[in-house]
């Protein structure tokens, strides 16, 4: 980025071409300058360029200067952009009204080049000052060192301007009383000699307390922050400024307020200085609420984890118990999943078939497990297999069929089964339960089983 691109941008809104050119040439050595000829164009350029300062004439066609100020303040991104109004009318009531509705300064024509430069410089410095402060609140990085140096340098410039230019004291007072931030002037003995209304509101003191010498930053500081203050003083004596840090002040009523404070010595002084003070109560409350919410969430996670762990342990115990029951009943119990793949053979079933459990589809059940009609000759069709019928939603009760295992005795069994009534809710499977009716030897008078291949 070029040096020119880093300079502050001033937008000049002036319908008089000679005055517009005069202002441009006056400010260009120190600033980037954009210029337009009426208020409407000024508003459009302000939205597009986001300048650091707007310098506008009061009386213009299409949109006057006071209308431009009101229009600017309707755009949040331009709400903090300082505006200096130019007018040939020395009207105190008008000036007061404009300052009340969003203008930062008012310059009466004709004016000197030096006065124009100083007024522009003051407002640009205030804008930069505020921008850096807002950035500090979100990033809290080392850029605030530049901020405190800027405060000290700006104070030195303002003191020099008191001798050279009229109304410089009034202009500085305007900055201090703008109430954007708390500002105080102090000495190392602990006394606060001057402060703006924002600082007094933060601490609860009054201007009468200031005049009486009853406001002391040392007395307002709780003992636990004395070490931080001593470190800041050491930085002051070493470099003329101290890095912003957080602490608390004791208000006049005894309550406490959290603040962010930064500052520097005035000019070449080693005794007097200036500081900005920001009330960070809302941020601290937000941090506390976030911490409490985080702790509550962690507690809930721990409780839920313990509940799930206990539930899992109970489920394991229940499953172990169920397996033990299934393996110790004499009835054969078979189950399949919703796709018809076998998922359960208990001990009695394995003894019936002389085979272990296999994940087979219904099309293979008859051949794999030697299932026959009661005549012992006809292979059992898939559609008549009790478990398959249950899978289709039928209620099966005491259906006769033959099991002719490749090894062991033939068995006539009664089969019953149905789809689990809670099948969908808990992903259970339809069951097929079997029990032996009589041995194969007692069936011989009724039929002669074929020998499996």
Q: What is the pLDDT of residues 77-115, one digit of tens each?
A: 898 899 999 988 767 777 777 777 778 888 888 888 998
Does residue 440 register a pLDDT over 60?
no
Joined tokens for residue 69? 């100020």
For 413-444, b where at least 16 C-beta lie within 10 A, e where not — what string?
Answer: bbbbbbbeeeeeeeeebbbbbbbbeeebeebe
**Region 264-275 average pLDDT:** 87
Give residue 324's pLDDT band: very low, low, confident or very high (50, 70, 90): confident
Does residue 142 register a pLDDT over 80?
no
**Calpha distance 334→348 (Å, rounded):** 10
**Does the domain formed by 1-111 have CATH 3.40.50.2300?**
yes
> Which percentage of the chain shows pLDDT scores above 90?
38
Note the pLDDT of residue 167.
54
**Does the domain formed by 329-443 have CATH 3.30.450.20?**
yes
**Region 317-327 average pLDDT:** 78
Q: Minimum mean pLDDT among 231-235, 250-254, 266-270: which range?
A: 266-270
Give residue 441's pLDDT band: very low, low, confident or very high (50, 70, 90): very low
Does residue 40 register a pLDDT over 80?
yes
**Region 12-30 average pLDDT:** 92
Give residue 445's pLDDT band: very low, low, confident or very high (50, 70, 90): very low
| Placement of tokens 């007094």 in the chain | 200
Give, in degrees to the nearest 5, the angle at Cα 185 between 284 and 119: 100
Higher per-residue pLDDT: 115 or 442: 115
Give residue 270's pLDDT band: very low, low, confident or very high (50, 70, 90): confident
**pLDDT tens per residue across span 156-172:** 776 565 555 455 555 55
Give residue 348's pLDDT band: very low, low, confident or very high (50, 70, 90): confident
Note the pLDDT of residue 349.
80
Does residue 448 register a pLDDT over 80?
no
**Region 65-86 average pLDDT:** 90
Higher per-residue pLDDT: 174 or 265: 265
Does residue 223 register a pLDDT over 80?
yes
Nearest to 57 by CA among 74, 49, 69, 47: 69
Joined tokens for residue 327? 């393996």
Note the pLDDT of residue 416.
86
Note the pLDDT of residue 318.
82
**pLDDT tens per residue across span 278-303:** 999 999 899 889 989 999 998 999 99
Does residue 422 register a pLDDT over 60?
no
The secondary element (H helix, E strand) that includes residue 250 is strand 241-250
Task: Check residue 399 and report its DSSP letter.
Answer: E
**Regarding the domain delimited by 113-279, which CATH topology (the fold level of the hierarchy) does it fall under?**
Beta-Lactamase (3.30.450)
């Amino acid at each position: 980025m070029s040096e020119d691109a880093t300079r502050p941008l001033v937008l000049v809104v002036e319908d008089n071409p000679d005055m517009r050119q005069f202002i441009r040439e006056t400010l260009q050595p120190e600033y980037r300058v954009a210029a337009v000829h009426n208020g409407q164009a000024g508003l459009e350029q302000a939205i597009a360029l986001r300048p650091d300062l707007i310098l506008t004439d009061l009386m213009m066609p299409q949109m006057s200067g006071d209308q431009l100020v009101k229009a600017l303040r309707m755009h949040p991104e331009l709400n903090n952009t300082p505006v200096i109004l130019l007018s040939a009318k020395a009207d105190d009531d008008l000036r007061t009204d404009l300052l009340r509705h969003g203008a930062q300064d008012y310059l009466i024509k004709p004016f000197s080049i030096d006065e124009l430069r100083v007024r522009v410089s003051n407002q640009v410095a205030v804008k930069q000052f505020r921008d850096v402060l807002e950035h500090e609140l979100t990033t809290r990085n080392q850029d605030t060192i530049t901020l405190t140096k800027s405060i000290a340098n700006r104070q030195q410039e303002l003191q020099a301007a008191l001798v050279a230019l009229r109304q410089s004291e009034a202009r500085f007072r305007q900055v201090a009383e703008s109430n954007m931030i708390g500002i105080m002037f102090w000495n190392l003995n602990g006394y606060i000699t001057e402060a703006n209304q924002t600082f007094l509101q933060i601490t609860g003191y009054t201007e009468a307390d200031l005049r009486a010498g009853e406001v002391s930053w040392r007395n307002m500081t709780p003992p636990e922050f004395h070490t931080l203050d001593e470190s800041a003083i050491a930085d002051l004596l070493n470099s003329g400024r101290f890095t912003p840090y957080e602490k608390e002040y004791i208000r006049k009523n005894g309550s406490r307020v959290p603040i962010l404070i930064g500052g520097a010595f005035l000019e070449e002084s080693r005794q007097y200085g200036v500081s900005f003070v920001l009330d960070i109560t809302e941020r601290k409350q937000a941090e506390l609420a976030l911490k409490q919410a985080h702790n509550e969430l962690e507690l809930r996670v721990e409780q839920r984890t313990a509940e799930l762990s206990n539930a899992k342990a109970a489920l394991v115990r229940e499953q172990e118990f169920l397996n033990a029951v299934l393996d110790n009943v004499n009835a054969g119990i078979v189950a399949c999943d919703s796709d018809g793949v076998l998922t359960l053979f208990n001990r009695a079933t394995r003894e019936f078939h002389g085979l272990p459990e296999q994940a087979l589809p219904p099309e293979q059940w008859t051949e794999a497990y030697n299932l026959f009609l009661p005549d012992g000759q006809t292979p059992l069709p898939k559609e008549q297999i009790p478990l398959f019928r249950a899978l289709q939603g039928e209620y099966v009760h005491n259906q006769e069929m033959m099991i002719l295992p490749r090894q062991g005795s033939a068995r006539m069994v009664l089969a019953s089964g149905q789809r689990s009534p809670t099948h969908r809710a808990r992903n259970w499977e339809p069951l097929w339960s079997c029990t032996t009716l009589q041995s194969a030897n007692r069936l011989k008078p009724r039929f002669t089983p074929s020998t499996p291949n």
